[in-house]
Structure formats: structure tokens, C-alpha cells
Amino acid sequence: MVSVTRAVFGDLPLGAGTVEKFQLQSDLLKVDIISWGCTITALEVKDRQGRASDVVLGFAELEGYFQKQPYFGAVVGRVANRIAKGTFTLDGKEYKLPINNGPNSLHGGVRGFDKVLWTPQVLSNGVQFSRVSPDGEEGYPGELKVWVTYTLDGGELVVNYRAQASQTTPVNLTNHSYFNLAGQGSPNIYDHEVTIEADAFLPVDETLIPTGEVAPVRGTAFDLRKPVELGKHLQEFHLGGFDHNFCLKRSKEKHFCARVHHAGSGRVLEVYTTQPGVQFYTGNFLDGTLKGKSGAVYPKHSGFCLETQNWPDAVNQASHCIFCISRIFKFHKGKSWRISGNPHSS
């Protein structure tokens, strides 16, 4: 049995609208989602002793999401990840995008999908958000209708993304939740054990744009096919963290992508997807200056993201765009919970 409750989360400045919070709850988990950016603001799951903790980073008040912050819990688009130099050519026409990350355009631009109010519709076991991205928004061509649906079925939280374009346009949607399985506000993720089912990864340049090489993980720090304890692994390979795309097998069927285990709590997170890549990010740019829920601060490496998506800068390095994406977050009571994704690309 799933309950769905609806409440006011806050008001936008200058009477621009009201942001609502939707809480989906089953016996296995509780998740809060707001209509500003389709943002997951809280996700509670039990540990092996049956004690529930919120395991996503974020803010208790709406004002926290208005400040400069690293996309906590939000849906990002029109194109997630980086587009080199904020430019791409489509059907012989060059498009220029806002530059908001070094020399590149990141996560849809200055005012991406994370920074807009979506229209909600309550479902029997979840909530659907929709919006129309007008032609030319943040420099992208064509009108884009977008639907993001969160539904809960027992221990399974499903996030489904769908988009319809009026003309050819790049689309790459994902959710940017930061997780700490020890509980949000815990100082780091070094005791998390990580597995990613990928035989290759994309090396990047100094601005985090893929170089064009698809490199095998074997014999490198990026071989996460067997579980590694994150802190020890970063130390062993002298890495400052991960912010890389791991290349997954291409399949229209949902398949295993990644697993994170926190031994201290017994919580386990798994990701499933049909997307060709997952961006593993270890919160390298968190610096402790943001004040989160319950007075928590978020220093470097205090949360991680597993963003199933198309390969970064694909519009400049490949010939396909993403138009229809779905993703599943699945949880199991007590000792383990499961995040699964099922994006579809075309």
C-alpha cells in the first residue's frame, strides 16, 4: 500500500508560483519530491537494525534550492552533463549555449530544468510532473514537452522520463541525487564499497570533456567491476575522486549497472539501466560551505551520484540524441535497497 500526500513547500519570489511537496510512502521507504526541478529532497530507508535515515543530500527549505548549489536531487536537462565550449551543430546549423562550467555548458545551461517550476499531477501511487520547454530555451532548438513520473510500488521507486520534440534536438535527462548511505550529513563516503559493471570509460581533458578515446578499464583505477572500498581505492591510485562516464553495454532491456554497499548500516544501492553510460561522481566540488538538512554541512566527498545518461558531449562526438528516458529506483526493506534505471535512447 502506497500513500501520497501533498503539501505546500514554499512560494516563489514575486508571486511567480507555489512549490509543492509530494511524499510517497510505503512500508519500505519514504521519499519527498518537490515541483521545483522535480527535486528529490529526502529519501528515508532503514538500516539493518530497522532505523530509518535520510540518505540524500539537500535542503529543508525552498530557499536552499535558490542559491548556487550543485543540483541536489534535481532532474537536469535539456542536456545533462557537459557540452564542449557550449556549441554544437545540428542539421548544418550551429547553436550556441550559455557557458556555466569553465569553458563549457553544463546540465542544460544557466536556467536548466532544475531551476523551473513543473506542473504536478497526483497519481494513485506517485506524482507526474510536466512542462514545455519553449523553442530556443537556453539556446536549444525546438519546443520540447517533458514528463517526469515518480511512482512507488512496494519497495520500488520508479522515475520515468519522457520527452517529445517539435524538431530534432539533443535531449539527455537524468536525476542528480547525491547519496550517502550512512545518512546525509555523514562526513564522507570513503567506507562505501562501489561496483560498476563497465569494461570501458571515457578519459577526459582538464575541463572534464571526453577526449574521444574509449579506454578499457582493465589495469586502471577505473576498473570497478569488482567491489572496491572507495577511500582506500582513491588513496591507492592517488585520485582526487571520480567524475567520469563509464561505458555500459548497450541494451534495450534493463540491466545491472552499479552497486554501492555501506557495511556500517547494511544499506545497499543498486542501479539498473538501458542507457549507454553512467556518470560516477564523488562530490569532488563540495566544499562544506552549504548548510543542508538538520544543520549538516557537505564537504568534499560527502556524497556520490550515479547518473545514468548518454555519453557526455555526445552531440559533438556521436550522431544520436536521447528522446525518451525512464529510470527505476528500487529499494528493499532493512539490509538492502536498490536503485534501478531504465532509460531508453533513440
Q: How far apart are CA 101 and CA 45, in angstroms?
A: 34
Q: How far apart are CA 245 and CA 242, in angstroms?
A: 9
176 is an annotated ligand-binding site residue: yes
DSSP state of 237: T
Is it true that the peptide bond before 78 is cis, omega within 30 degrees of 0? yes
DSSP state of 79: B
| Lookup result for grid cell 529532497 | 41
Report how many helices (DSSP H) and strands (DSSP E) the chain contains, helices first. Answer: 3, 26
In order of 61, 115, 210, 295, the CA distances from 57 in angstroms are: 13, 17, 27, 12
235 CB-near residues (< 8 Å, 6+ apart):
none
Q: Which of 20, 137, 138, 307 is flagged as catalytic?
A: 307
82 is an annotated ligand-binding site residue: yes
> Phi and psi dihedrals of 149, rounded to 5?
-120, 125
CB atoms within 10 A of CB 131: 17
Annotated active-site residue 193? The verdict is no
81 is an annotated ligand-binding site residue: yes
CB 272 within 8 A of CB 257: yes
153 is an annotated ligand-binding site residue: no
CB 246 within 8 A of CB 196: yes
150 is an annotated ligand-binding site residue: no
Q: Which of 20, 137, 156, 176 is flagged as catalytic?
A: 176
Q: How far apart are CA 294 and CA 38, in angstroms?
A: 22
47 is an annotated ligand-binding site residue: no
| Lookup result for grid cell 570533456 | 209
Annotated active-site residue 307? The verdict is yes
Q: How far apart are CA 97 and CA 93, in angstroms?
A: 13
Known binding-site positions for beta-D-galactose:
81-82, 176-178, 243
Known binding-site positions:
81-82, 176-178, 243
**Would you please indicate which residues are annotated as catalytic (active-site) residues?**
176, 307
